[in-house]
Amino acid sequence: MKITDFKLAMLNVPLVTPFKTALRTVERIENIVLIIETDTGHKGHGEAPATAVITGDTHGSIICAIKDYIMPRLIGRPVTDLNEITQIIQGALVNNLSAKAAVEIAIYDLFAQYFNTPLYKILGGGQPQLSTDITISIDYIDKMVADSVQAVEAGYEILKIKVGKDIGLDIKRIKAIYAAVKDRALLRLDANQGWTARQAVDALDILEQAGVKLDLIEQPVKGKDLQGMQYVTKRVRTPVMSDESTFGPREVIQLIQMQAADIINIKLMKTGGLSNAIKIADIAAIYDVECMIGCMLESSISVVAAAHLAVAKSHVITKIDLDGPSLCKINPVESKTCFNGPEITLSDEPGLGIKSVNNLTML
């Protein structure tokens, strides 16, 4: 099975409600989809969102990186040369992590298809069922409480609460949500780099003294502020999780050795794909550090790839934040993978099990 050609397309899917964080507001998924073609007729699918404020990737940079730098180096290569191909992808240009992730996802999809096996089994096996949390966007208190109650009534037992704009209001938001769902759901906070280290410690002290029990606090300070992460981690009882502080394996090692986080959030769009995500999971396992598998605003193309990794590395990836498809009005991907509220059940079809993708505009 050799790579012969590729196509790029724009995926356009409206969200159920606007996705609001301390950094941005988004009303629809507009992602670049990559389809890699082979001489056997097999097709591999990958996906990359434009997340300029986090990874620096835009639609234009993703298209250019894939079209002009990465894919020309892969044409004619057998998909079974996986290690060589991933090295080529990672070395084709600096940064452009989401573009690299899209290509790697498609390559791993084809690699597993070659062996006629679902990707999670190629990566190590496991039970192909996961349960994800769901994101509650930052908004007025009453709206966030109503959204939280609605999510719990829909079967979600873990809520990821977006905060980070106004710390005083954030504390009121969290207290109100906790009062409404405390007996029915765990709360995870995502500050999206919106607080200072001192603010984070003060806020968590107030919440802890008020009896609010949190599963974790995610990236309370700026991603580059590792000293700030360390400051918070050493001073609060709530587990601290890194997100923008850890993109690749080297950063993960540094963060763990500094004891600057209790949990590592792995996102394929930050790591540049599955090869580095696998390394991060293995590094975390060595240090007995838990990981979460997360996503940007992604459809079930790349989310399914992340889910396959989580199943195969379930001994270290213990927390699941793969709610991208649940936030969409429709699932544009035709496959036997099932998204049923919080429950994700992977198919046993080869690779990622993707039959076709709707809502595409070819580029």
Binding site per annotation, positions = 24, 135, 160, 190, 218, 243, 295, 297, 321, 323
User: For the chain, how far is it from start to end, CA to CA, in angstroms?
Assistant: 25
Within its chain, how far is the Cα of 87 from the centroid? 22
Strands (E) located in the chain:
3-20, 25-38, 43-49, 129-131, 134-136, 158-162, 186-190, 216-218, 240-242, 263-267, 290-294, 317-320, 333-335, 338-340, 343-345, 354-357, 360-362
Please tell me which residue in 43, 162, 270, 313 is annotated as part of the active site.
162
Q: Residue positions in the annotated binding site for substrate?
A: 24, 135, 160, 295, 297, 321, 323
Please tell me which residue in 20, 43, 100, 267 is annotated as part of the active site.
267
C-alpha closest to that of 94 among 63, 51, 74, 65: 65
Residue 270 among the catalytic residues:
no
User: Would you tell me how many other CB atoms lie within 10 Å of the CB of residue 226?
Assistant: 19
Contact of 199 with 175, CB cutoff 8 Å: no
Residue 355 among the catalytic residues:
no
C-alpha closest to that of 174 among 135, 213, 120: 213
C-alpha closest to that of 106 among 71, 145, 60: 71
The answer to whether the Cα torsion of 165, 168, 169, 173 is positive or negative is positive
Structure tokens, 284:
């975390």
Q: Residue positions in the annotated binding site for Mg(2+)?
A: 190, 218, 243
**Residues labelled catalytic:** 162, 267
